[in-house]
A and B are shown apart, each in its own frame.
Chain A
Amino acid sequence: EAEVAQSPRYKITEKSQAVAFWCDPISGHATLYWYRQILGQGPELLVQFQDESVVDDSQLPKDRFSAERLKGVDSTLKIQPAELGDSAMYLCASSRGSVQETQYFGPGTRLLVL
């Protein structure tokens, strides 16, 4: 069964350092999402891609976060510089088409900023 891949699974970094997370969606899925989940909370959307285009990044803190999906397949989320409050689980999800459809989530990257 096809799955969404994410790496790394865990990342520990010091504040002010740069970090990057990678996501490979299910083959054929046009829509890709990045979510951030703080411990004890539900996931919150950061950015949505449709193929290689950003559909919505209004929740992405653009002073330090950036996301790209250059060829419309895999995607990278970057934080520079990392802050203590960025410690969270970063989840990637994909779906075939519209936001109304089922989303398939990867295992997530747990980030700890010291």
Chain B
Amino acid sequence: SQQGEEDPQALSIQEGENATMNCSYKTSINNLQWYRQNSGRGLVHLILIRSNEREKHSGRLRVTLDTSKKSSSLLITASRAADTASYFCATPRADGLTFGKGTHLIIQP
């Protein structure tokens, strides 16, 4: 079963705009991770935010975590064509990561 659910399922924006995608999860967590997947490729780890952190930055990425609402958001600023990909949030459970269905992001030139 899938723990996290991303929203929206698909997002199309113009290059240079900011992209925001959200993730909701069901059970308590120690951390939440965001991954990117380019079409037909493996997943690339973007950022890990721990349950005692509220916000974390990495380059053009900003992740927030609200454990009271069991939700997280990923903001990509100043989007580029190369950001076109699917983005997944993932939460650790005893045997591995549980992923949502992902947000498919398209950056229009």
Contacts and interface: CB of A to CB of B under 8 A. Distances in A.
B2 A42 contact: yes
Interface stretch (A14-22, A61-69, A75-83, A95-103): A95-103
A99 B101 contact: no
Contacts of A48: 95-96
Given A42-B2, A42-B88, A110-B40, A100 B30 contact: yes
A4 B102 CA distance: 22
Contact of A41 (B44, B94, B101): B101
Nearest to A31: B96
Contacts, number: 66
Contacts of A103: 33, 45, 97
Contact of A99 (B42, B43, B96): B96
A43 B3 CA distance: 12
Contacts of B40: 89, 108, 110
Interface residues of B, number: 26
B48 to A, nearest CB: 6
A106 B41 CA distance: 8
Interface string A36-66: 0000111111001000000110110000000
Contacts of B31: 100
A100 B96 contact: no
B11 to A, nearest CB: 15
Interface string B86-102: 00101011111111111
Contacts of A93: 43
Given A100-B30, A102-B48, A106-B42, A35 B101 contact: no
Interface in B2-33: 2, 4, 30-31, 33
Interface of B: 2, 4, 30-31, 33, 35, 40-45, 48, 88, 90, 92-102
Interface of A: 4, 6, 33, 35, 40-45, 48, 55-56, 58-59, 89, 91, 93, 99-100, 102-108, 110
